[in-house]
Amino acid sequence: MHQESVFISDHSHQLHLKRIWQKEGGTPILMLHGSMENGKIFYTKSGKGLACFLAKHGFDVYVADFRGKGLSKPAIHHESTHGQFELITRDIPQFINYVAKQSQQKVHVICHSWGGVMLACSLLRYPELAQTVASKICFGTKRSISIKGARKLFKLDLVWNRLLPLLARRKGYVDMVRLKIGADNETRSFLLQCIPWLKQGQWHDPVDNFNYQASADLLDWPATWHLTGINDKLLGHAQDVQSFIQESNRKARFSLLSKAQGNSRNYDHIDILTHPKAIDDHFPQILEWINEHSK
């Protein structure tokens, strides 16, 4: 199995894609990470993770690092002003178009958490982009959080919505890595743009007021599958994932991964992609889904 880094130039940014493949000509897959993350949620150098699993089965996998994240250059710093608007309008269209051009095929897109929201927004803004997507799979993807409880009160209402924006005001970004609350950092702009959505605000873009909700019923969505774990109690709670399905693609398939549903464990927001048992539980089903929607 091979791994190489590819960079896409976008003005002062170099957007990174990790290409993982075993044979040429495989069906293309693009992977998009969520907030406080980078592409390594999907792979390791030693060959673990969903990206490597699919590459071993003949797929040509491209794992993205959004601008400022992972191996994309430059890393987020005190003068970084980009937010989720740039991910929606610049990064995702360029990633999809690059992979489609390289493969001359439609692209399957797999997302984790907030990456699935960003993908949906890109497809709604650019309906022609949706025509290049064969299918999309989202792990633990929600747009807003409606559940109540102490976990939400502390982690979301207090830390994410109040404390982190204050820290970002001083430095221009939040050093999630140093604070040990994430695998990668976030800009102040990103925080301020996503917080209104998490608070169940209207699905309008905070930068230019584009109405995503009004466009959702008009889009010819690619085949869509949402999965989440029963132990995902906040960031991808089943209730909020299903709410996102209702406001985006109501025809999407939904799966709740748990022992009660025949899985070996009750999955959470992270181990749904990283636990060794996933290779036997739902990774083979992902393989079947992609093969089915590649015909």
Q: For the segment 254-293, what is each residue's pLDDT rounded down to a tens digit?
A: 999 999 999 999 999 999 999 999 999 999 999 999 999 9
* The token pair that represents 112 in the structure block: 């984790």
Mean predicted confidence (pLDDT) in 77-91: 97
Tokens 């181990």 identify what position? Answer: 271
pLDDT at 2 over 90: yes
**Omega within 30 of 0 (cis) for the link into 74:** yes
Q: How many residues does the chain have?
A: 295
The three-point CA angle 64-232-248 to 5° equals 60
Please state, as a whole number, how many other Cβ atoms lie within 10 Å of the Cβ of residue 135: 20
Q: At what angle do helices 92-103 and 114-125 cross, to 10 degrees?
A: 80
Q: Supply the pLDDT for residue 146.
A: 95
Hey, which bits of 45-197 come out as E strands? 60-65, 107-112, 133-139, 173-174, 186-187
Dump pLDDT digits (tens) for 180-221.
Answer: 999 999 999 999 999 999 999 899 999 999 999 999 999 999
The band of 30, judged by pLDDT with boundaries at 50, 70 and 90, is very high
Please give the mean pLDDT across all residues of the chain: 96
Residue 115 and residue 203 in contact, taking contact as beta carbons nearer than 8 Å = no
Please tell me whether residue 60 adopts helix, strand or coil conformation. strand
Residue 231 CB-density burial (10 A; 0-12 exposed, 13-18 middle, 19+ buried) = middle
Task: Supply the pLDDT for residue 135.
Answer: 98
**Residue whose pair of structure tokens reads 């949402």 in the numeric block:** 226
Q: 186: which strand partners?
A: 174
Per-residue pLDDT, averaged over 110-125, amounts to 98
User: 274 near 291, Cβ under 8 Å?
Assistant: no
Tokens 């150098």 -> residue:
45
Q: Please provide the CATH number assigned to the domain covering 2-144+210-292.
A: 3.40.50.1820
Percent helix / strand / coil, the chain, rounded to 5: 40, 20, 40
Measured CA to CA, the distance from residue 148 to residue 28 in angstroms comes to 39
> Under a CB-based contact definition with an 8 Å cutoff, are residues 135 and 289 in contact?
yes
pLDDT range class, residue 141, cuts 50, 70, 90: very high
Nearest to 17 by CA among 77, 99, 123: 99
Whether residue 295 is predicted with pLDDT greater than 90 in this model: the reply is no
Q: What pLDDT was estimated at residue 196?
A: 95
* Residue 13 β-bridge partners: 10
